[in-house]
């Protein structure tokens, strides 16, 4: 049994609905690319996971690279920061990073997708463009000053580093270790984003 088959179950066949089929293929692609990466994922894997015909993928997305690009765009939501209270941001992120990396959490799956994309020579350039447009630019705009680009890059590096640490650690931090971690991470992030 493949790694993808173990992590997911194929969807049952559906009635014909182009919009629903396209959405199901896109969701299946996000899952497949997160679990097995671009190079080890086939269009047949994605179609089976979506419960659709493999021939529909080129029709809706133009092929594997087009599907990957759409899945990548759907994975990096540029509007997440817009409504986040800057006064709570650092503490919220610190609390999240002190927790366990739950594989069912969409944020964990998103990060897995991005890690897989970063390690493939085919997808790394696509990821680079998407990160600039859909991750760093919104952070820069949210920070809202002349040094926003530099601070956005530092904040992204810190955030990604803590995501990796949480993924490797697996279990949630507890007790005094959790308290110290949250306080220190909050201070680090507050130092980058500045007053709200």
Contacts of 45 (CB under 8 A, 6+ apart): 2, 4, 32, 36
**The pLDDT of residue 90:** 93
Question: Given this model, what pLDDT does residue 16 score?
Answer: 74
Query: Do 179 and 185 meet the contact criterion of CB atoms below 8 Å apart?
Result: no
Q: Which residue has the tokens 């690009």?
A: 69
Its pTM stands at 0.72
Per the CB < 8 A criterion, the answer to whether 94 and 181 are in contact is yes
Q: Are 90 and 147 in contact (CB under 8 A)?
A: no
Looking at residue 12, its pLDDT comes to: 62
What gap in Å lies between CA 5 and CA 48, rounded to an integer? 10
Q: Which CATH number applies to 3-75: 3.40.50.2300, 2.40.128.110, 1.10.10.60, 3.60.20.10? A: 1.10.10.60
pLDDT value of residue 111: 80
**CATH 1.10.10.60 location in the chain:** 3-75
pLDDT at 78: 72
Q: Which residues of the chain have pLDDT under 70?
A: 1-15, 103-104, 195-196
Distances (CA, A) of 82 to 130, 148, 179: 18, 15, 28
What pLDDT is attached to residue 176? 97
Q: Which helix (H) or strand (E) holds 189?
A: helix 175-193
At residue 11, the pLDDT reads 62
pLDDT value at residue 15:
63
């Amino acid at each position: 049994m493949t790694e993808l088959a173990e992590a997911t179950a194929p969807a049952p066949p559906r009635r014909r609905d182009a919009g629903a089929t396209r959405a199901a293929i896109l969701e299946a692609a996000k899952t497949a690319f997160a679990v097995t990466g671009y190079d080890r994922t086939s269009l047949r894997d994605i179609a089976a996971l979506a419960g659709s015909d493999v021939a529909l993928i080129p029709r809706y997305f133009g092929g594997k690279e087009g599907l990957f690009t759409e899945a990548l765009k759907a994975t990096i939501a540029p509007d997440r920061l817009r409504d986040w209270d800057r006064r709570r941001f650092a503490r919220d992120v610190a609390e999240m990073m002190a927790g366990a990396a739950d594989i069912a959490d969409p944020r964990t799956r998103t990060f897995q997708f991005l890690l897989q994309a970063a390690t493939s020579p085919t997808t790394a350039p696509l990821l680079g463009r998407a990160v600039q447009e859909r991750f760093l630019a919104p952070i820069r705009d949210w920070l809202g000053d002349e040094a926003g680009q530099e601070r956005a890059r530092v904040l992204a590096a810190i955030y990604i580093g803590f995501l990796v640490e949480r993924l490797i650690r697996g279990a949630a931090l507890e007790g005094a270790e959790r308290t110290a971690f949250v306080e220190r991470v909050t201070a680090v992030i507050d130092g980058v984003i500045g007053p709200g």
